[in-house]
Amino acid sequence: MIKLPSNLRRNLRLMRIGHILASHGLAALAVRMRLFYPYVWLVQLFRGDDLPKDLGTQIRLVLEELGPTFIKFGQMLSTRVDLLPLEVALELKKLQDDVPPEPFEKVRRVIEQSFKRPLTGENGVYATFDETPVAAASIAQVHFAELTDGRQVAVKVRRDHISRTIESDLAILKLLASLFHRYFPEYHRLKAPQVIEEFAITIRGELNLRAEAAHASRFAENFAEIEGVRVPEVMWDYTQTEVLTTERICGTPIDERAKLEAAGHDCLKLCERAATQFFRMVFTDGYFHADMHPGNIFVGDNGDIIFIDFGIVGRLDIKSRRYIAGMLLAFLQEDYRRAAEVHVEAGYVPADTDISAFEDALREIAVPIFNRPLGDISIAELLLSMFAVTERFKMETQPQLLLLQKTMVVIEGVARELADQANIWMLARPMISEWMTRHMGPVGKAEAIGEEIRDQLHDWMRLPAKIDGVLSRIEEGKVTFNSEPSHLSAVMGAMLSAGGGGWLAWSLANGAGTGILVLSTTVMGLGILLAISRS
């Protein structure tokens, strides 16, 4: 087989992308990006239209035709309603990561190269290995096997050469993003190159199955004290970057309601347990499963909920969790002004935002949602609409919240499959209320203030090292000053006054002696004098 030079392969790929765009009514886009220019220009000339009326559908079809990496990119874009029109984002949610399985010989080669041992037989990795996969996706597929000690396991095997394919596609995506950024200056706000970088980090993370094993272990620790929820055990001696081995689970997918009822399970209780566990992950742990589609949630014969597939996880720091809780509490109480204020306090919108106008915008999206029957209220839809509206108030993109919103859409769908009129917020209300009481009440607010003070003190304590670094750079000639009056004294004064002020605050809070108080006051005073002096 002849191997083409990389530059030629890339150009042929770009030509194919230009052809696919043109054949789906997106020739105008290809022309402006200079993709296979003469051909797509002719197509545009004869078609006459700038963009198809069913834009979302055509973009989805283009991504499906371009293959797995582009499908995953489209799935990620479906959550970015801060970037895309809502109708396009909703259409991209239909993208399915459905590909045929790899031939067994390739699976065998990946495993044997990873462990430097035969797949089965004498000194084999496994006692037996089922050649037929039980699940297949674009990055990996799953087979059942048995260990030499008789334990039944599930083996997730990364596709042969998928890393190289994805890196090649990422290079193409980065090039397309740079062309889009260059030739569509009116869409600079979309930050296309940065979006591709975010996607690259996510998909590269999915390639490392040892990292997924680490995620699974962490979830198992978080669930250890929780009855009725568990994670398959990771077999670390049988796990590598390209192979993940876990205990084999027996259970029913959580969306197969008829089978669950026939087995005697109470679907409403299962729904309540799944919802409560999701919000425990979000609020208590700040570490949540971000791919909770029905194929990744099973119900064991004993009624346990079993989570699998931890390739994508979300993380929320305490500040983000308090923001979400405060915002949701305000919405549920129909206090839209408070909802607007929470955004400002969290720093997600500028401090000079017109609160009254922002309140009206939030009311506009929230009232229609909360006027529905209880079972039809969707907090995920609220977040989806909110991210679309807040763009005009210069709300900065919060990737961790977008991932949370995507996961909420899925878990709400799972809940409605189990119990038609269930509302996951109401089912999990006791746990959420307990968390909010603890973290949004007087004790929680005091802790938040304490954390802020500790952060400020930490920054102030680092000032001497920063000052020393600046002085070293000046001595080395790396910092120069012009003949105009120097601002160095003002800068140094501001730093000293801030440091002295922080030291004084700490001293007062900890009952320090008079000498320390005098010294900290002197440092602060010296800083003020330097700040107001002129060189």
**CB 234 within 8 Å of CB 307:** no
Map residue 319 onto helix, strand or coil. Answer: helix
Map residue 300 onto helix, strand or coil. Answer: strand
d(CA 440, CA 326): 7
Report which of 267, 265, 300, 293 is spatially closest to residue 278, judged by C-alpha positions: 293
d(CA 282, CA 406): 13
Token pair of 519 as six digits: 């010294």
Active site residue 291: yes
d(CA 360, CA 363): 5
Catalytic residue among 237, 291, 360, 455: 291
The burial of 462, by beta-carbon neighbours within 10 Å (0-12 exposed, 13-18 middle, 19 or more buried), is given as: exposed
R_g of the chain, CA atoms, integer Å: 28
d(CA 85, CA 94): 15
Q: Which residues contact 437 (CB under 8 A, 6 or more apart)?
A: none
Report which of 35, 77, 87, 102 is spatially closest to residue 57, judged by C-alpha positions: 87
Q: Which residues pair with 297 in a beta bridge?
A: 307
| Active-site residue set | 291
